[in-house]
Amino acid sequence: MKLTWFGHAAYKLEIAGATILIDPFLSGNPVFPQNLSVEQVAGDATHVLLTHGHDDHVGDSLEILRNTGAQLTANFEICMWANAQGIQNINPMGAGGCVDVGPFKVGLTTAHHTSSTIPDNGQPIYLGNPNGIIVEAPNEPTLYHMGDTDIFSDMALVNELYAPKIGIVPIGDRFTMGARAAALACKRYFDFGTVLPCHYGTFPILDQNADGFIAAMGEQADRVKPLAPGESITV
């Protein structure tokens, strides 16, 4: 599995038979690499997975879905909202579901956060409950993108059900776990071989680097692989 981070919570996953974008917040992302374009990142996308409806996660999804014909997987409300804007290839789900989409299976978990979009009139539109995302693919390590969340004890059940080996973990504080809580979640509830921190350094009100998280991971610090925006890792 090849993973590329584009800053914030935006990732590309490349596996046999699929190119998957998770939370593709690109064109409005302050740390999105200037040498890249949305078209370059999304040109070969087959699937778009969204954790929740906030604009810094939905990002360029509608444009990407229209241009590529990729399938959207998200909660029911997000899929219906996208469908009302002309997106036909949708795969609505809810927390607890795990669906075979061909090259891989995708599951949604609980996340402790909120989910909405704010149109020009400033009145938030509710877009269902937030989620984490599981990706299971043949001959690949299972991946868990936690979405935007606080730590919660039922993470133990996520591990029992899926045993993910790659964790994409929000660490930026204020809107998600900070360094201490994120490290506790990883160490107490999971046995990740690779931990990719995200949701930091994007805006001034978030933690600006992964140093505190790496320190809090203690003896498991070597599992943390912080990437620069645009950088890839193969696991």
* pLDDT tens-digit readout, 178-204: 999 999 999 999 999 999 999 999 999
Predicted pLDDT of residue 122: 87
Q: What is the pLDDT of residues 99-135, one digit of tens each?
A: 999 999 999 999 999 999 998 888 999 999 999 999 9
- 194: which 2 tokens? 């690779």
Architecture of the domain made up of 2-234: 4-Layer Sandwich (3.60)
Nearest to 212 by CA among 186, 179, 175: 179
Q: Can you tell me the distance from the alpha carbon of 23 to that of 21, in angstroms, rounded to the nearest whole number?
A: 7
The answer to whether the CB of 199 falls within 8 A of the CB of 8 is yes
* pTM exceeds 0.85 for this model: yes
In this prediction, residue 213 carries a pLDDT of: 99
Q: Give me the residues of the chain with pLDDT under 50, please.
A: none
pLDDT for the residue 121:
86
Q: Where are the domains of the chain?
A: 2-234
Helix axes 76-83, 61-68, angle to 10 degrees: 60
Q: How far apart are CA 201 and CA 194, in angstroms?
A: 20
pLDDT for position 120 = 84
